[in-house]
Amino acid sequence: MADRITVQEAARRLGVKDDAIRKRIQRGTLDHDKAPDGRVFVYLDATYDSSEDSYKDTSWYPSSDGTKESAQDTTHDSSYADLVELLRSELEDWKQVVVTRDEELRRKDHIIAALTERIPELEAAGDPRDGSVRAAESADRADVSQEPQEPAQRRSWLYRFFFGQ
């Protein structure tokens, strides 16, 4: 005699998700009917075996603590342990990558700080050729226009480098 149960109850009894039950209904591997209110009910035998949908190893052997254990459980446990070990090793690799990147960032910050401290020294020293170039430029400008010139504003070497003034 089959029990008439909801999709959710069938999923709970079989240890699968609701979607898996709905897919089995769609494939026609589970008997079902639809109530007038739209709810779907599944007919499930008390001895229903879902082996037609997935492989189950039913061989049993005693475990080290004296309880019975299936080969599938042991395989599952060892593969789980292998996966955990693999993930731990990957995590350690990523931690090393993060440490390396942190060191690189600290090094770059140190270099930037050192260069920033040197900017006032470089601006104060000036370029000896700069004065002669400016004098030649002002002489050329004086020939082109006879308008009075404003005194040249002293620009930083960085500004002169990028904007050529």
Residue range of the domain that includes 97? 68-124
At which residue do the structure tokens 């090793």 appear?
89
Residue 134 in contact with residue 153, Cβ under 8 Å?
no
Low-confidence ranges of the chain (pLDDT < 70): 1, 46-76, 126-153, 165
Averaged confidence pLDDT in the chain: 75
What DSSP line would sit under 30-58, residue for residue?
Answer: SEEEE-TTS-EEEEEETT--GGGTS----
> Which pLDDT score is estimated for 57?
43
Structural domain total, the chain: 2
> Which pLDDT score is estimated for 71?
46
Residue 39: how many other CB atoms lie within 10 Å:
10
> Which pLDDT score is estimated for 56?
43
pLDDT tens for each residue of 15-30:
899 899 999 999 988 8
88 and 52 housed in the same domain: no
In a domain, 115, yes or no: yes
Please give the structure tokens belonging to residue 114.
């050192």
> Which pLDDT score is estimated for 163?
81
> Which pLDDT score is estimated for 161?
82
CA distance 63 to 81: 17
Residue 114: how many other CB atoms lie within 10 Å:
9
The residue type found at 47 is T
Instruction: Return the CATH number at 27.
Output: 1.10.10
pTM of the model as a whole: 0.30
Sign of CA dihedral 114, 120, 125, 129: positive
Best CA proximity match to 16, nearest among 30, 35, 33, 4:
30
In a domain, 78, yes or no: yes
In a domain, 39, yes or no: yes
In a domain, 129, yes or no: no
CA distance 6 to 12: 10
pLDDT tens for each residue of 141-165:
555 555 555 556 677 888 888 887 6
In a domain, 162, yes or no: no
At which residue do the structure tokens 């599952």 appear?
76
